[in-house]
Chain A
Amino acid sequence: MFPNDYAFHWSPLHVLFLGIFFTVLIVVGSHFAVALWRASRGLRQNRYDAIRWHADFEDFPPELRACRHALTGECADRKCPNAFDCRQCRLHPMFIAKGLLPAECMEEVGGMIFPADRYYHRGHAWARAEADGTVTVGLDELARRLVGDAPAQLPEPGTTIQVNGSAWQYQTGSGSVRILSPVDGEVLATGGASGEWMLKVRPSAGSLDTRHLLRGAEVKAWITRELERLQLALAPEPTGATLADGGVLVEDLPRANPSADWDRVYGEIFLEV
């Protein structure tokens, strides 16, 4: 195995064979060590949220990865290649520049109110820029009816949150539910669990970056699709929607329908694997 070992000879075959063996060991060991070192560096740099989101996104089924512009019919079926981060998207500015969506927006969709003064994240949090430069973050109406009266676990003021990272959580009967952040920034204050807003955030970029958020006419197309997905997720078997059309979601859906697979529903709607 090594020089001076009784079976070792300085013959070309010995040297070649053991040379290859040790090279393999070094390659495998060093790359394993590099992965460990990079992981510990990532931990120090607080990259978990971003990587978790990308890992989850990769595991989403294709219909969950639909591009916002496909939802509105601006383009044919297209899957988002940027993990819903339109800030990275090459095509998004082109769609915006075309201005194909109608200017008017509807605040009521499916019997729920989606105020036009705010931007919506695909994970059902909303963000509203305030006059003092802060951003208020809350949960949209559809999501609020899904979590019902579950207690919220809000981050401490001073916590840094990232877009698509965890903003706050709910403890529901089927486990914890993570709400994705629509904004990068530092939490300044937290609202009450029953309040309209959940977080006041000082955005990292100085102001609210809205490129990855939905607004106006997009919201109707998105929520309509979300309601379809919700129907599918609530169906007892994956054979299609079973809820009657035309109704309005009740205020506290888990209480009204406790036998549903809520773990699955929350995963589908709040974008968590």
Chain B
Amino acid sequence: MASQSTFDRHLIIRGLERCSTPRFLLWLLPWVLLLAFGLYGAGLCLVRGLNQTNMDNRFAFGLWIFLDLTVIALGAGAFFTGFLLYILKKKELKAVINSAVVIGLVCYSGAVAVLAVDVGQPLRAWFTFWHPNTHSMLAEVTFCITCYLTVLVIEYLPVILRNRKLRQIPSFLLFEHELHKLMYVFAGVGTFLSFFHQGSLGGLYGVLHGRPFAYRAGFALWPSTFFLFILSAAAVGPSFIALSTWVVSKISRKRLARPEVYDLLGKVSGRLLILYVLAKTVDTVIWINATSPDRGFPAAMFYSWKPFGTWLLFAEIALFGLLPALILLDGKRRRRMPWLISAAALASAGIALNRFVMTIQTLALPTLPFDRFLTYFPSWQETATFLAVVAFGVLVYSFSFRYAVLFPQEKELNVAQPSQPEPELVAVGD
């Protein structure tokens, strides 16, 4: 029995083994310090302005936008798991949906918080809603992200309202019950919103006529990056859920989900990832042979600026795309945890690399004859703000894991089973 304080232990659902209160506080301490440090850095940016960062008028997207794109893509596990569970009725995923919702909430709230700092005028944030620029992909992104964050908060409410103490408050439990019954509506809306803002984030780069490294031809209004961003986020979302479940399982030393759950996440991720790799390959071939030359730039030129060589393209498509896809498509390997987790980690790293390439490499490359290759290294204030989001995520997840049921299978997977009675009389089967 862990030595928890009385107050603390009465907040923890019975049957869930959690570490002692002092140990939990010790775990929280570095993250709280990191969060405080990050808030200080973010505060400086808000009070003194964006001169605290190493971004400028030419390098206007930096660490923060890279972070935003990455966490929003990784947070796609929330909408896609919800879609698979509530719309496609993949009941096995009930085992991880709560965790997926928390991860989604953390990712999106972190992204919105960083955007608020990045915009630099948070008090005027409402302008983007009141006076939207409907010609900009960013208007759609802003609307969708804020709407989806609202949906995620609503989806998170039932998770937290089922806490042991909170469920003893009748109005809370009844509200949780009613909210849960309507969850398929919120999951559907979440899917719709995610689908569009993931796409618009990609479309944002694809329409950059002045940046031929990023510019892509496409379909009607939408450049190919619109569809690639949706597909990549949907493909990697389940992998990231599997990876995060495994990491939490290792840190907490608990079995949290049955192997079938990991297997299903891996299978879905593998199938979508191979589709993405195929689409990305076709897109790259068209870009190399048509889109880029048509705009007066041989594609090879973009890879002549070190360190952004062709190795990046290879790593993005083959190492972090094709390889994990093949592992996840192979049932035998997928069912072995080291393979599954390695593939999930590769896929998650791959999406981060893709977002890095789209954000940083795009802006670093010269596009005019008198341009030079730009370099950018984030300031400590930018890094601190980035780390604050990480710390915030760990803290929210840690509290949620301790005081809510993030993995409904945890109890049964971590208790000794009483002996089963011998069925002496079998009268009616199920």
Q: Which of B115-134 touch A at CB < 8 Å?
A: 129-134
In contact, B178 and A94 (Cβ under 8 angstroms) = no
- The yes or no answer to A144 lying at the interface (CB within 8 A) is no
- The yes or no answer to A232 lying at the interface (CB within 8 A) is yes
Contacts of B338 in A (CB 8 A): none
The interface stretch among A1-9, A111-119, A131-139, A186-194 is A1-9
Q: Looking across the interface, which residue of chain B has its beta carbon closest to that of A2?
A: B130
- The yes or no answer to A51 lying at the interface (CB within 8 A) is yes
What are the 9 closest A-B residue pairs judged by CB atoms, nearest first? A267-B14, A48-B170, A39-B175, A39-B174, A61-B412, A35-B178, A38-B178, A228-B418, A73-B424
In contact, B175 and A35 (Cβ under 8 angstroms) = yes
Beyond the given pairs A27-B185, A51-B173, A75-B430, 15 more chain A to chain B contacts, judged by CB atoms under 8 angstroms and listed by A's residue number, are A35-B175, A42-B178, A56-B167, A59-B162, A63-B412, A63-B415, A69-B428, A73-B421, A73-B424, A98-B428, A232-B415, A232-B418, A235-B416, A273-B15, A273-B164
- The yes or no answer to A43 lying at the interface (CB within 8 A) is yes
Interface residues of B (CB under 8 A from A): 1, 6, 9-10, 13-15, 17, 129-134, 139-140, 143, 147, 150-151, 154, 162, 164, 167-168, 170-171, 173-179, 181-182, 185-186, 189, 192-193, 405, 408, 411-412, 414-430
Contacts of A261 in B (CB 8 A): 1
Give the distance in Å from the alpha carbon of A35 to the alpha carbon of B421 in the complex.
43
**What total of chain A residues lie within 8 Å of the partner, measured CB to CB?**
68
In contact, B427 and A76 (Cβ under 8 angstroms) = no
A259 to chain B, nearest CB (A): 8
In contact, A75 and B10 (Cβ under 8 angstroms) = no
Give the distance in Å from the alpha carbon of A43 to the alpha carbon of B154 in the complex.
20
B255 to chain A, nearest CB (A): 12
Give the distance in Å from the alpha carbon of A268 to the alpha carbon of B418 in the complex.
13
Give the distance in Å from the alpha carbon of A51 to the alpha carbon of B132 in the complex.
44
- The yes or no answer to A100 lying at the interface (CB within 8 A) is yes
Give the distance in Å from the alpha carbon of A261 to the alpha carbon of B6 in the complex.
12
Give the distance in Å from the alpha carbon of A33 to the alpha carbon of B282 in the complex.
46
Q: Looking across the interface, which residue of chain A has its beta carbon closest to that of B151?
A: A28
In contact, B418 and A236 (Cβ under 8 angstroms) = no
Known interface pairs A27-B189, A95-B427; A14-B416 also in contact (CB < 8 Å): no
Contacts of B14 in A (CB 8 A): 263-264, 267-268, 272-273
Q: Looking across the interface, which residue of chain A has its beta carbon closest to that of B175?
A: A39
A-B contacts, 17 of them at CB < 8 A, read A31-B185, A34-B182, A38-B174, A43-B170, A48-B174, A51-B173, A52-B173, A59-B405, A59-B408, A69-B428, A73-B424, A74-B423, A75-B430, A95-B428, A232-B418, A267-B15, A273-B13
Give the distance in Å from the alpha carbon of A52 to the alpha carbon of B426 in the complex.
33
Give the distance in Å from the alpha carbon of A62 to the alpha carbon of B413 in the complex.
10
- The yes or no answer to A103 lying at the interface (CB within 8 A) is no
B177 to chain A, nearest CB (A): 5
In contact, A28 and B15 (Cβ under 8 angstroms) = no
- The yes or no answer to A195 lying at the interface (CB within 8 A) is no
Give the distance in Å from the alpha carbon of A71 to the alpha carbon of B132 in the complex.
64
Known interface pairs A43-B171, A61-B15, A225-B418; A100-B425 also in contact (CB < 8 Å): yes
Q: Looking across the interface, which residue of chain B has its beta carbon closest to that of A62?
A: B412
Taking each of B13, B181, B416, which has the highest tally of chain A beta carbons within 10 Å of its own beta carbon?
A: B416
Give the distance in Å from the alpha carbon of A51 to the alpha carbon of B178 in the complex.
10
Q: Which of A214-235 touch B at CB < 8 Å?
A: 221, 225, 228-229, 232, 235
- The yes or no answer to A47 lying at the interface (CB within 8 A) is yes
Taking each of B10, B164, B173, which has the highest tally of chain A beta carbons within 10 Å of its own beta carbon?
A: B173
In contact, A63 and B428 (Cβ under 8 angstroms) = no
Contacts of B422 in A (CB 8 A): 73
In contact, B426 and A75 (Cβ under 8 angstroms) = yes
Contacts of A43 in B (CB 8 A): 170-171, 174
Q: Which of A54-90 touch B at CB < 8 Å?
A: 55-56, 59-63, 69-78
In contact, B175 and A73 (Cβ under 8 angstroms) = no
Give the distance in Å from the alpha carbon of A1 to the alpha carbon of B220 in the complex.
25
Known interface pairs A35-B178, A273-B164; A5-B154 also in contact (CB < 8 Å): no
Give the distance in Å from the alpha carbon of A18 to the alpha carbon of B131 in the complex.
11
In contact, A75 and B182 (Cβ under 8 angstroms) = no
Contacts of A232 in B (CB 8 A): 415-416, 418
